[in-house]
Amino acid sequence: MELRQFVSELRSRKVYRTAAVYCAGAWALLQVADVIFPVVGLPDWTVSAVLVIAALGFPLALILSWLFEISPEGKGGTENGGGEATADGQFSSARIIELTLVLILCGLVGYLYVGRLASPPSSAPAEQALAEASIAVMPFVNLSEDTGLEYLGDGLAEEILNLLARINELNVAARTSSFYFKDKDLDIQTVGRRLGVEHVLEGSVRPAGDRVRVTAQLINTEDGFHVWSETYDSSLEDALVFQDEIAAQVVKQLELIISDESRDVLARGEKLDGEGYQFYLRGRAYLRTVGDPENLTYAINLFDKAIAANPEFADPYAGKCEALLGLYSEARAPALFSEAEVACQKALTLDRRSPGVYIGLGNLYLVSGQYQQALTEFDTALALKPGYVEALLGRADAYFGQQLMVEAGEHYRRALALNPDNWRAQKKMGNFLFDSGRPEEAIPYYQRIADLMPDGAGAFNNLGAAYFMTGEYQRAVDAWEIALDLSPSGVTYANVATSLYFMRRYDEALPLYHKAVELSPQDYELWGNLGDVYRYASGGSEMAGPMYENAIKLAEQHLAINENDAHTLALMGHYHAALGDTDMARDYISRALGLAPNDVYVKYSTATALASLGDYDDAMGSLESAMDNGFPMHVALADANLNGLKELPRYEASMAQRE
C-alpha cells in the first residue's frame, strides 16, 4: 500500500481523528487528576498511574479504530478516499494541516506529562510553596515604665506569631528563633538574614488601665523599608480581635492568596475576660524563661487562673500541657504525665484546628515512647499545616526513637530544607548524627547554631561534646568554657567533669559532677556518672554504691513512662553490673539490645556492664561492634570501666587494627 493510500485509509477509518480526540481527552483527564487527587488525599503516584494507563490505551484505541472503524461518533462504515489527494496524486493542503495538527497535539501531551515519569513528583508541593512568603515576629516593646508588664508585649507578639503560623501559605520563623533577638542591637536586615525571612513584624505596647495601645509595623528585611503600620486602641477583652486584624493586614500586605481554612483562622472574634487573658500571657512568659521546676510551677498556676476565667479558651490548656510536660522531664513523676495528657486533650476538644495542640500531644507521646501515636498527632498537624517544620521534626524524632534511621534522617533533612536557619532543626540534625555515632558530621550543625545564636550556651555545650568525641580535647574545653560563661548548667558542668574523668583526673571531676547534680537533681545519668567517678577516685569507692542506687531509682521512674528507652535500659544494665547484680544487669542489657541492636551507645554500655561482670570476651565483642559502627576508640581507651579488657590477648591487636 502506497503512503498516499495508507493516509487515505487512515482518514476513511477516522484513525487520526480518534488519535486527536483521545489525546485531548487524556489531557483533560490528567488535568483533573492533577488537581483533584491531592485534594482528596490520594498519593502522588496515582496521577502517574493515570498517565501510564492513558499511554497504554493510546495504541489500543488506534488499533481498534483501524480494525473496527471506531471513531468519536461511534462504529461506522468506510468512507471512500475522495478529497484525500488532488488529481495529480498530491495531498491536499487541508489534509496536510489536519495531520500536522494531530501530530502536534499528540506531541504536546507527551511533552507535558512524560516528564512526570522521568522524575518522581515532589513529595511536598505545599512545602515548596511555603517558602515563597516568610516572616518573623519580634517581641513587642513595652513602652510602659513598669518593667513587670514586659510579659504583655512579648505575649501579644507570641500570640500573633502563633496565629500567623497557622496560615498554610506563610512561613513563620519559630518563636525561639525570633525572640532570641530581643534587646539585641542588630538592624532589621541582619535579623532577616539570620532568620532567613523576607519580612519582620515588630511593634510596641502601651498599657493604660484596662486598655492597651498596640502599634504594629511590617518591615521588608531586604531594604529596611516599612511596608505597613497601624495602631490599635482596645481592651484586653478584645485581644483576639485586634490580633486577628493585625494578622489579616500582614496577609493583605504580603499579597497572599489564602485558602478558606486559613481565612477561618483569622476570624475568631471571641471576647475574653481581660484579667484572665493577662493570666494566660503571664503563664506563657514563665514558659519562655529557663524551664526549671519553679518557673514551670508558676506557669501552671497562672494557666489554672486563666482557665477559671475563660474555661472555653483552648490556649491555657495547651500551655498547661507544655508546662506539665516540662515538669515531667525534670521530675519523671508519672502523675505529671497523666495531668499533661488531660490538659492537651482538653485543648484539643476546644480547638481542633490548631496544629500546635497536635504538636503538644505528639511531644507528649514521644516522651512516653508511644511512637505510633506520636506520628498520628504529627501527621494531623501536617494535614492542617503542610510543611510545618515542628511536625516534621516530631516525625523525625518518632522514627529515631524506633531506630528507623533512614526515615529519621530524611525528615530532619526535609525540615532543614524548608527552613535552613531554624536553630531547632539544626540542633536536632546535629543530635541525630551525634547519637548515631557520627560526631564529626554533627559539628557543622552545632557550629551553625553558634553562629546564629552566639549568646546561646546550648550550642557551645553540644559543640564541645562533638569535639570531645572526635578527640579534639582542647577545642572541646574551649567550647564548654564559653557555655559556662554564658549560662552555667548541670549538663555543661557534667561535660567538663566527663572530660576530666576520661583524662583520669577523678578527684578533679568529682566536685564538678556534684555541681551538676545540684543543678539537675532528677537526672539519673548524672548520678550514674558520680558512681563511676567514685569507683576510681581516691578513698571514695564506698560512695559509688549509693550513687548507682539513686541513679537506678530515678531511671526506674523514667522507664515507668517510657519502657522502650533503649539508652536508659542499657545504662540500667551498667548500674546493676557495677553493683554486682548479675541477673538484673543481663536482663536490662538484653532488653536494650532487643530494642536497638545497632545503636553504638547501647553497645558501648553493654561492653562496660559485661566488663564489670567479668565477662571480658563478650564485653570485647560489644566494644568492637560499637567501634566498628562509629564509637570513638580514644574514649574506649581512656575509660577505666574497661580496664579489665586490657588483659585479653586480642585487646591490643584489635585496637592497633583501628588506629
Give the three-state DSSP class for 141.
Answer: strand
Buried b (16+ CB within 10 A) or exposed e, 585-611: bbebbebbbebbeebbbbbbbbbbbbb
Residue matched to cell numbers 537506678? 552
Q: What pLDDT does residue 27 have?
A: 63
Backbone φ and ψ of 74, nearest 5°: 115, -170
Confidence of residue 47 (pLDDT cuts 50, 70, 90): low
Q: Which fold has domain 129-271?
A: Rossmann fold (3.40.50)
Q: Which tens digits make up the pLDDT trace of 431-483?
A: 999 988 899 999 999 998 888 778 778 889 899 999 988 888 888 888 988 98
The Cβ-side half-sphere exposure at 171, using a 13 Å CA radius, reads 23
CA gap 11, 9 in Å, rounded? 5
Helix, strand, or coil (residue 546)? helix
Residue 76 pLDDT > 80: no
Spatial separation of the C-alpha atoms in residues 347 and 315, rounded to whole Å: 7
**453: closest CA among 429, 487, 476?**
487
Cβ-contact 327, 297 below 8 angstroms: yes
pLDDT at position 456 is 76
Separation between Cα atoms, residue 398 and residue 392, nearest integer Å? 10
Annotate 166-180 with DSSP letters as a single string. T-TT-EE--HHHHGG
Per-residue model confidence (pLDDT) at position 579: 95
> Residue 13 half-sphere exposure, CB side, CA atoms within 13 Å?
18
3-state secondary structure of 142: strand
Pairing of strands 171-172, 141-142: unpaired
Once rounded to an integer, what is the mean pLDDT over residues 68-72? Answer: 52
pLDDT number for residue 530: 94
Predicted pLDDT at 43? 53
Residue 89 has pLDDT above 60, yes or no: no
Q: Is the pLDDT of residue 616 over 80?
A: yes
Buried b / exposed e along 451-461 (16+ C-beta atoms within 10 A): ebbeebbbbbb
Question: Where in the chain are the domains?
Answer: 3-121, 129-271, 562-659
Taking the C-alpha atoms of residue 431 and residue 427, their distance in angstroms, rounded to an integer, is 6
Q: Which amino acid is at 115?
A: G
What is the Cα–Cα distance from 376 to 391, expressed in whole angstroms?
10
- How wide is the angle at C-alpha 490 spanned by C-alphas 489 and 491, nearest 5°? 90
DSSP single-letter state for residue 541: G
pLDDT digits (tens, 9 = 90+) for 221-238: 988 888 999 998 888 777
Q: What is the pLDDT of residues 495-509, one digit of tens each?
A: 889 888 988 899 999
pLDDT at residue number 16? 59
pLDDT in the model for residue 136: 92
CA distances from 594 to 567, 589, 603, 610 (A): 12, 8, 11, 16
Q: Average of pLDDT values for 371-384? A: 92
Structure confidence at residue 40 (pLDDT): 46
What integer pLDDT is reported at residue 245 of this predicted model?
87
Q: Name beta bridge partners: 200.
A: 136, 219
Among residues 261, 116, 289, 134, the alpha carbon closest in space to that of 198 is found at 134
Share above pLDDT 90 across residues of the chain, in percent, rounded to a whole number:
32
Superfamily of domain 562-659: Tetratricopeptide repeat domain (1.25.40.10)
Triad 573, 634, 611: Cα angle to 5°: 30
Q: Are 429 and 412 in contact (CB under 8 A)?
A: yes
- With CA atoms as reference, report the closest residue to 247 among 226, 232, 234: 232
Q: What cell numbers appear for 498 in the block?
A: 566527663
**pLDDT over 70 (residue 117):** no
Asked if residues 265 and 167 have their Cβ atoms less than 8 Å apart, the reply is yes
Residue 222 has φ and ψ, to the nearest 5°, of -75, -45
pTM as predicted: 0.61
Interhelix angle for 490-502 vs 473-486, to 10°?
A: 160
| Banded pLDDT at 66 (limits 50, 70, 90) | low
CA dihedral 228, 233, 238, 244 (to 10 degrees): 0
CA distances to 25, 91, 319 from 322, rounded to whole Å, are 54, 79, 5
Ranges of beta strands (E only) in 348-476 are none
Q: How far apart are CA 623 and CA 644, in angstroms?
A: 13
Beta carbons within 8 Å of 303's beta carbon, 6+ residues apart: 279, 280, 283, 316, 317, 319, 320, 323
Q: Give the bridge partners for 208, in sequence order.
A: 211
E strands, 98-198, are 134-137, 141-142, 171-172
The distance of Cα 171 from the centroid of its chain, to the nearest Å, equals 14
Spell out the long-range contacts of 82-86 with Cβ–Cβ below 8 A and sequence spacing 24 or more: 84/4, 84/7, 84/8, 84/11, 84/12, 85/4, 85/8
% of the chain exceeding 70 in pLDDT: 80
Question: Does residue 434 sit in helix, strand or coil?
Answer: helix
Integer Cα distance of 650 and 644 in angstroms: 12
Q: Has residue 11 got a pLDDT over 70?
A: no
Query: Could you report the per-residue pLDDT of 626-654, keeping only the tens digit for each?
Result: 998 888 888 888 899 999 998 888 888 88
3-12 vs 15-39: helix axis angle to the nearest 10?
Answer: 60
pLDDT band at 130 (very low <50, low <70, confident <90, very high): very low
What kind and span of H or E run contains 211? strand 211-220
Convert the pLDDT of each residue in 137-172 to its tens digit: 999 998 888 877 888 888 888 888 888 888 878 888
Q: Which cell goes with 311?
A: 474555661
Distance CA(395)–CA(410), nearest Å, equals 10
- Residue recorded with cell 510536660: 325
Mean pLDDT of the chain: 81
Q: Are strands 141-142 and 199-208 parallel, antiparallel or unpaired?
A: parallel
User: Looking at residues 211-225, what average pLDDT do you find?
Assistant: 90
The owner of cell 499545616 is: 385
351-360 pLDDT tens trace: 888 888 898 8
Residue 91 is classified by DSSP as B
- Note the pLDDT of residue 578: 95
Region of poorest pLDDT, from 71-75, 414-418, 489-493, 522-526: 71-75
Q: Given this model, what pLDDT does residue 589 score?
A: 96
484, 474 contact by CB (below 8 A): no
Q: Are 160 and 137 in contact (CB under 8 A)?
A: yes
pLDDT digits (tens, 9 = 90+) for 295-353: 889 999 999 999 999 999 888 999 999 899 888 876 667 788 889 989 999 998 998 88
pLDDT at residue 126 is higher than 50:
no
Record the cell numbers describing residue 23, joined without a space: 489525546
How many other C-beta atoms can be found within 10 angstroms of the C-beta atom of residue 241? 18
